[in-house]
Structures are given as structure tokens and as C-alpha cells.
Amino acid sequence: MSRREFKRRRRGPAGDGLFDDVKSAEVLFGKSKSGRDDRKTQQLCRQVERTLSLALSGGFGDLVLSELMVESVVPAPDATRLLVNLRRISAGESGNRDANVSDIYQRLERISGALRHEVAQAITRKRAPELMFRIVAEPEVQP
């Protein structure tokens, strides 16, 4: 019996395309992903969050950057690239509110290499993850 004939005989009844290919099993049962990978990614995000919080609290000699607080770090799409969500400290805590968002992004771009270096020293990985930044809008206070 040739391979082609064997494959035809293995299939279920006509119209039952459920087991035609390997991907149908992924549809039914989901992709197999070990919990260890997810746990390690979350651990990495927490380490990067702590490191960036400490690094930005110094502000690199820039008052505008010292106003930023790391809100969260999430993988985007995986641990090779991380999205850092930043929030500006409210005006009551700091007086320098003149900088607009595009100016903050430019300042972050200028020091992104130094921030990535800080992260690389703090974690134990072959390659330091790329960092992307997003300024999160402050929530509006309802009276």
C-alpha cells in the first residue's frame, strides 16, 4: 500500500474534517504552553519594572523624566520586547508640568540605551529585551 493510499484510508468519514490536520487539535485543545514560560516572563517584567523605577527616580539629571513613574511592564508580544507604561506624577507632587508628551518621548528615546543597559545589568539573560515606552493618561477625577 502506497503512502497516498494509506493517508486516504486513515481519514474519517467524508464530511468529518475534524481530524484532517494537526491544527484542528490546537483549535480543540489550545496550544500547549508550559506554565513555566509564562511565570518566567512575568518574573522578568517585575524585575524590569523595579529596575526602571529606580533608574527613572534619579531622572538622569532631567527634571521632566524624574516626574515619571513606572506603572507596569508587559511583554509585547513576548519577552524579547517589553512595553513600559509610564505615568506622570500629579501636579501637586511636582511643579514642572511644562513638558508635553512628545517632548517626554524624545527625552526617553535619548536615554533608552542607558535604560536598556540598566536592565541588562539587573537581569540574567543572554540578550536584554527591547524597551518600548507609552505614557498612560492620568485618570480624570469625577467630582
Q: In what order do the strands lie in the sheet with 81-88?
A: 68-75, 81-88, 130-135
pLDDT at 114: 94
pLDDT at 117: 94
pLDDT at 34: 56
Q: How far is CA 39 from CA 15, 45, 66, 114, in A?
A: 41, 10, 31, 27
Whether 131 is covered by a domain: the verdict is yes
In degrees and rounded to multiples of 5, residue 62 shows phi and psi of -120, 120
| Torsion angle in degrees (nearest 10) through CA of 72, 78, 82, 88 | -30
pLDDT at 100: 87
pLDDT at 140: 63
Whether 66 is covered by a domain: the verdict is yes
Q: Which residue has the cell 513600559?
A: 84
User: CA 48 to CA 72: how far, in whole Å?
Assistant: 9
The residue ranges of DSSP E strands in 61-112, in sequence order, are: 68-75, 81-88
Whether 6 is covered by a domain: the verdict is no
Return per-residue pLDDT of the chain as tens, 143 residues.
666 665 555 555 555 554 444 444 455 555 545 566 788 999 999 999 999 999 998 878 888 888 899 999 999 888 999 999 999 886 544 455 557 889 999 999 999 999 999 999 999 888 999 999 999 877 666 66
Q: Residue count of the chain, please give it.
A: 143
pLDDT at 77: 85
pTM exceeding the 0.85 threshold for the entire prediction = no
The structural domain count of the chain equals 1
The domain in which residue 89 lies consists of 35-135
Closest C-alpha among 113, 85, 96 to residue 62: 96
Whether 11 is covered by a domain: the verdict is no
Whether 46 is covered by a domain: the verdict is yes
Whether 58 is covered by a domain: the verdict is yes
Domain harbouring 58, CATH code: 3.30.300.20
pLDDT at 42: 93
